[in-house]
Amino acid sequence: MKNLFNLIIFVAIIVVVVVRSFFGEGVGEGQSDGWLIALCTTAVVVNGALALAGALVRRRVLMQVVWAAVFLMIGCGIWAVRFMPLGEEETAFRREAQRQDDPFARDEEGECLFTRAAALGKEEVVRHIIDTSGPSDEVINEAGRRAAEGNRVGVLDCLARVGLQATAVSNGVPLLVAAAQNGCCDAMKWLIMRGAPVDTRDEEGSTALIQAVQSGRPEAVKLLLEKGADPKLRDAAGLRAEEYARTEQMEQLFTPTSPEPTSSFLP
């Protein structure tokens, strides 16, 4: 019975994660999510501890002891990950978000709260700023580039609702090139599915494929080739993507695979 109870609790957590992720709203960002996960995890930890103690005291079969220990360890692990102390960067960001009057004010590095929120995947902050402040197209494109660089698909969804195009360019860099350069395959798939040309170039003439090779991103290279990227295209220096390969793994991606020989037998 206790194992069934623990199973139901885990299913509840999974449902929260899947549903929230499907609608692009993030997991654990909202207060309701936090309390629900905390409640479920606490129930798992307490029930697992009681089950383990009962199994040991009553000297039950080994399998019951193992199940109880597994539930207890997993519950403690979820609790530790969910409520571990925030890092310095995260803490500083939250404090700044609370006291920031103008989310588009640039700092010394030329970045604003809105673009930083996009880069860090803070979907709730991005949505709040969109709803209350109305960012310009230029800032939306910049936030889209930062989201693509960080593989923040949820943020890209948020920005798409206010006009972000998959073909957008920020600082001379198309979003697909930015994602490829950082090996962000999920963001690349998102952009390609929404119409980003697979052979798009930056202002220096480099394609997304060339940038992925130069940055040493084999998964991004493989994805682009599968999506039909042309490996014969040259950049402003006259070089093809393959010529930037520095490892055997990268070179093999451009080597055509020969079909396996088939043997024929005479009757």
Same domain as 48, residue 129: no
pLDDT average, residue stretch 116-127:
88
Domain boundary among 83, 117, 151: 83
- Confidence band of 34 (pLDDT split at 50, 70, 90): low
Residue 101 domain flag: yes
Domain boundary among 83, 102, 126: 83
Same domain as 141, residue 219: yes
CATH code of residue 210: 1.25.40.20
Residue closest to 32 by CA, chosen among 46, 19, 22? 19
Residue 136 domain flag: yes
DSSP state of 110: S
Same domain as 79, residue 95: no
Tokens of 240: 């093809």
Q: Tell whether the model's pLDDT for residue 70 goes beyond 50.
A: yes
pLDDT average, residue stretch 215-226:
94
Which stretches of 57-160 are assigned E, i.e. beta strand? none
- How far is it, in rounded angstroms, from Cα 35 to Cα 40? 9
Give φ, ψ of 30 to 5 degrees.
-80, 160
> Given the structure tokens 């103690």, which residue do they identify?
53
- How far is it, in rounded angstroms, from Cα 67 to Cα 70? 5
Domain with 100 in it? 88-252
Report the pLDDT value the prediction gives residue 22, as an integer from 0 to 100: 45
Same domain as 152, residue 72: no
- How far is it, in rounded angstroms, from Cα 130 to Cα 107? 20
- Confidence band of 131 (pLDDT split at 50, 70, 90): confident
Report the pLDDT value the prediction gives residue 196, as an integer from 0 to 100: 95
Contact 198, 176 (CB under 8 A): yes
Domain boundary among 83, 98, 115: 83
Contact 166, 196 (CB under 8 A): yes
pTM: 0.63
Q: On the CB side of 199, how many CA atoms lie within 13 Å of its CA?
A: 10
- How far is it, in rounded angstroms, from Cα 85 to Cα 83? 6
Same domain as 62, residue 127: no
| Averaged confidence pLDDT in the chain | 77
Report the pLDDT value the prediction gives residue 265, as an integer from 0 to 100: 44
More confident residue, 63 or 181: 181
Mode of pairing for the β-strands spanning 173-174 and 169-170: antiparallel
Same domain as 208, residue 94: yes
Number of domains in the chain: 2
Q: Tell whether the model's pLDDT for residue 238 goes beyond 80.
A: yes
- How far is it, in rounded angstroms, from Cα 97 to Cα 191? 28
- How far is it, in rounded angstroms, from Cα 32 to Cα 23? 16
Residue closest to 201 by CA, chosen among 167, 225, 238? 167
Residue by residue, DSSP assigns 19-35 as HHHHTT--SS-SHHHHH
Tokens of 133: 């402040």
Same domain as 140, residue 41: no
183: region left, alpha or beta (phi > 0 left; psi from -120 to 50 alpha): left
Residue 203 domain flag: yes
